[in-house]
Amino acid sequence: MGGVTASFSLAELEPVLAQPDLFQSPVAIVKPFKQNFSTTLRLKMGPPPSWTLYPAGNVLDSWAVSSGNIWGLAPVGDPDNGGRLWVASPSASWSGSGRIEEYTPDGTPTGRSYGFTWQPRFGPADLAINPHTGRIWAMNIDSPGRANCIYEIDPAVGYTGRRVCPEGSGFANSQRGLAYDPVTDTWFAGGWNDGTITRFASDGRLLARVSVGLAIAGLAYNPDTHHLFVMVNADPSRVYVLDVADDYAPVGQFDVGVGLGAYGGAGLELDCTGHLWAVDASSNTIYRFDSGESTTACQADVSWLSTSPVSGTLGPGSTRRITVAF
C-alpha cells in the first residue's frame, strides 16, 4: 500500500534439515602455516584419483585475461542473452590486483570493477552467484580460525557489508571452492586444506560435512541433478562429479578440453544454460565448456508448490492477489 509503483517477483525455496550421519572428520589437514598457499604445488599431495570418465568438458569458448592474476569467476544472468561474467583477481599476496571486474561473455571488459573493501589477507578464491538476488559471494581466506567467511558483492555497488561465517567466526581450515543451491538456499564449501565438502545454511548453520579426498579448488552445483562439480588444483587439474543425493558418491571425472595447466585449477561455476565456467590460473585463461547436463538453476522451482503470478507490478495504493497451490 505504498505511494510509488513497485515491481515484484517470487522465488521458491525448499529448506533442508541437518543430516548428522553426514558429519565426517577430515582424513588429513594441511599444517596451519601452509594453509594460505594459492596452489597445492608445494604441498606434495600427489596426483588426483582416477574415476570413471564423465561425458563433459568440451570447450565452447576461451579467452585470456591480461589484467593481473585471476582466481574466481561468476556468471550473472544468461550469457547468451545479455548476461555478464565477473572475474576476481585476488589480493597482492596471491599476485593479484585485489579487484573483481565485469566482462562480456566473449572477454571484453565493460569498465565496471570494484576493490575488495573488506581487505582479504589472501585470496579471495572461488565465487558463487545467488540467482534469486543477483548477488555474488566470494570465499575469503585468512589465517586459520579467522574470518574464513563468505562475503557478498552487489554488481551495482560492490561489497554490501554482508558476510556469512560458518562455524561461528569462520572455517577453522581455510576453504577454496564455493557453490550455491538455489532450491534450498544452502551453500557448499570445500578446500584442499582438509579435503572436505561442507554444506551450510545462509545463516551459517552447518548441515553436513563429508570427506572426499580431493584437492578442492572450485565448486559448482546443479540442483536438477544434485551433482556437485569439483575442480581440483593438482597435476593434472581436472573436474570431478559427486552425487549429493547419494551421500556425495563419486560419479565420474573429466578434463577441460585438452586439459588445464598443472596446478592451474581454480574457480568454477555453472551458468543459466547448464554450461560450466572455469579459471586456469596457470595461464590466466577463462573457459566455458559443456557440463554434460542441463539446468533450471536460474529458475529454481519447488515441485510440490506453485504460485501465480510469479511476477508483476503494483501501482500506488493497490493490492494484488497471489494464488498459492500445494
The pLDDT assigned to 300 comes to 59
Check whether 3 has a pLDDT greater than 90: no
pLDDT band per the 50, 70, 90 thresholds, residue 303 = low
Mean per-residue pLDDT, 277-306: 88
The pLDDT assigned to 90 comes to 96
Please state the length of the chain.
326
- Describe the strand order of the beta sheet including 276-280 as a list of residue ranges: 59-64, 285-289, 276-280, 265-270
Check whether 325 has a pLDDT greater than 70: yes
Scanning the structure block, which residue is given the C-alpha cell 550469457? 79
pLDDT band per the 50, 70, 90 thresholds, residue 89 = very high
> Is residue 172 a contact partner of residue 206, using CB atoms and an 8 Å limit?
no
The pLDDT assigned to 164 comes to 97
Instruction: Quickly count: other Cβ atoms within 10 Å of residue 316's Cβ.
Output: 10
- CA 141 from chain centre, in angstroms, equals 15
* Rounded-to-integer distance, Cα 68 and Cα 89, Å: 7
Beta bridge mates, 279:
286
| 112, three cell numbers | 565496471
* Rounded-to-integer distance, Cα 280 and Cα 22, Å: 32
Check whether 17 has a pLDDT greater than 80: no
Mean per-residue pLDDT, 11-22: 59
Nearest alpha-carbon partner for 73 in 103, 116, 97 = 103
Rounded to 5 degrees, φ, ψ at 305 are -135, 140
Mean per-residue pLDDT, 289-295: 97
Mean pLDDT taken over the chain: 91
Rounded to 5 degrees, φ, ψ at 246 are -120, 50
Q: What is the DSSP string of 80-118?
A: TTT-EEEEEE--GGGTS-SEEEEE-TTS-EEEEEEE-TT
End-to-end CA distance of the chain: 27
Secondary element (H or E) of residue 178? strand 177-181
Alpha-carbon Rg of the chain, whole angstroms?
Answer: 19
Higher per-residue pLDDT: 57 or 15: 57
Distances (CA, A) of 69 to 18, 37, 100, 232, 233: 38, 14, 11, 18, 16
Angle, alpha carbons 58-277-302 (nearest 5°): 105
* Rounded-to-integer distance, Cα 7 and Cα 16, Å: 29
At 163, the amino acid letter reads: R
Nearest alpha-carbon partner for 138 in 208, 148, 273, 6 = 148
With 0-12 CB in 10 A as exposed, 13-18 as middle and 19+ as buried, what is 320? exposed
* Rounded-to-integer distance, Cα 230 and Cα 177, Å: 8
Nearest alpha-carbon partner for 202 in 177, 223, 181, 224 = 181
Check whether 138 has a pLDDT greater than 60: yes
* Rounded-to-integer distance, Cα 136 and Cα 300, Å: 17
> Is residue 265 a contact partner of residue 41, using CB atoms and an 8 Å limit?
no
